[in-house]
């Protein structure tokens, strides 16, 4: 799923993030944990499910606009 999401065009990622960012941010980080085994990524992914996700929704939108990928605490 991560590879498929990363291959999407920048415009599609921005649109998805605008409308579904609250769901994409935690899922991206939780699934990314299984690739990277970075415990911080998992913790942030779980926190995104409980209110902190709104903050990461906007952070992820900005990083997608600037770098075309979700990069903050998603190693």
Q: Name the nearest CA neighbour of 23 among 41, 45, 1.
A: 45
- pLDDT tens for each residue of 35-58: 888 898 888 888 888 877 778 888
- Give how far Cα 51 sits from Cα of 15, 44, 65, 75, Å: 21, 11, 23, 21
3 is a domain residue: no
Say how far apart CA 74 and CA 61 lie, in whole Å.
14
Domain range for 53: 8-67
Domain presence at residue 53 = yes
In a domain, 45, yes or no: yes
The reported pLDDT for the residue numbered 43 is: 86
How many angstroms separate the CA atoms of 35 and 16, rounded? 22
- Enter the pTM of the model: 0.81
| DSSP string for 35-62 | HH--HHHHHHHHHIIIIIHHHHHHHHHH
Establish if 73 belongs to a structural domain: no
In a domain, 1, yes or no: no
Question: Does any domain span residue 38?
Answer: yes
Domain assignment present for residue 41? The answer is: yes
Domain count, the chain: 1
């Amino acid at each position: 799923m991560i590879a498929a999401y990363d291959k999407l065009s920048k415009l599609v990622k921005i649109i998805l993030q605008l409308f579904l960012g609250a769901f994409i941010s935690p899922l991206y980080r939780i699934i990314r944990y299984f690739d990277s085994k970075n415990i911080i990524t998992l913790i942030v992914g779980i926190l995104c499910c409980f209110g902190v996700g709104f903050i990461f929704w906007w952070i992820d939108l900005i990083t997608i606009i600037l770098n075309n990928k979700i990069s903050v605490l998603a190693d």
